[in-house]
């Protein structure tokens, strides 16, 4: 995707990164909240509340906190902004509607190994994602816009540590939800962020001669 280090005017007007991130991600926070508020008995069940809560917590962070934290981010081309916005509207609707109206869980689902394992995966994934984004943000001193080799945390294992965290997060979510909609989202995330991680990995190898050769692309020890 042509944003961040690959940002280019060829893909439309350049928008400032902070408002672009906030606006494009906001629908994935607001649409599920609206659907949950209008939902009936399905939305009121505890597994549905908790799972919708996971989705909303992620997007509250991504739309309201993450844009305030990024430093000197490269501008976002209009094309990328519109694609991300459409994705967030559609996916916010898909996950929100599924969990508010259709997903019915047996009693005791909160003690089911699929829910527990998935929830732990979601939690660890989100922690890795936030920690890795924190490492990236702190590579630059105030005013700097260049790139450095990220070190520490999951970056010791993969070039796309923030992307690995997000992929783990949504596969954990899919396991806890056990819905086709959440699996579709996890697979989309895998393809989108897996390809971005691959592009970053190749970019690092070309740019830095001393880039750690044992570092994988996005899945520790595997790929």
Written as six digits, the tokens of 184 are 């579709």
Q: Which is nearer to ligand NDP, 33 or 84 (CB)?
A: 84
Tell the residue number behind the tokens 């899945």, with chain if given.
Answer: 219
Q: What phi and psi values does residue 184 have, to the nearest 5 degrees?
A: -60, -40
Shortest CB 101 distance to ligand NDP, Å? 23
Point out which span in 35-43, 101-109, 131-139, 212-220 binds ligand NDP (CB under 6 A).
131-139
Whose tokens are 């509340």? That residue is: 49
In angstroms, the CA 174 to CA 66 distance is 23
* Binding window for ligand NDP (CB under 6 A); candidates: 33-41, 94-102, 104-112, 133-141: 133-141
Helix and strand numbers, DSSP H then E, in the chain: 9, 2
Kind and range of the H or E run holding 156: none
Q: Is residue 198 involved in binding ligand NDP (CB under 6 A)?
A: no
Q: Among residues 48, 126, 133, 175, which is the contact residue for ligand NDP, using CB under 6 A? A: 133
Render 200-216 in DSSP notation, one character per residue.
HHHHHHHH-TT--TT-B
From the list 69-77, 92-100, 114-122, 175-183, the region that binds ligand NDP by CB under 6 A is 69-77
When asked if residue 177 is in the footprint of ligand NDP (CB under 6 A), the reply is no
The size of the interface with ligand NDP (CB under 6 A), counted in residues, is 21
């Amino acid at each position: 995707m042509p944003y961040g280090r690959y940002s280019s005017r060829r893909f439309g007007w350049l928008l400032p990164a902070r408002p672009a991130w906030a606006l494009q991600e906001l629908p994935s926070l607001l649409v599920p909240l609206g659907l949950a508020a209008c939902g009936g008995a399905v939305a009121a069940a505890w597994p549905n509340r908790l799972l919708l809560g996971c989705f909303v917590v992620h997007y509250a962070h991504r739309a309201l906190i993450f844009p305030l934290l990024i430093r000197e981010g490269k501008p976002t081309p209009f094309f990328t902004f519109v694609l991300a916005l459409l994705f967030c509207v559609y996916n916010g609707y898909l996950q929100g509607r599924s969990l508010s109206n259709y997903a019915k869980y047996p009693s005791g689902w909160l003690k089911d190994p699929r829910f527990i394992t998935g929830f732990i995966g979601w939690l660890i994934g989100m922690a890795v994602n936030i920690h890795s984004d924190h490492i990236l943000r702190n590579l630059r001193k105030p005013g700097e816009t260049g790139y450095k080799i990220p070190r520490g945390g999951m970056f010791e294992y993969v070039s796309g540590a923030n992307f690995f965290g997000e992929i783990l997060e949504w596969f954990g979510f899919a396991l806890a939800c056990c819905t086709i909609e959440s699996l579709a989202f996890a697979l989309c995330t895998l393809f989108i962020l897996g390809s971005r991680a691959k592009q970053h990995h190749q970019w690092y190898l070309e740019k830095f001669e001393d880039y750690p050769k044992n570092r994988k692309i996005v899945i520790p020890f595997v790929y």
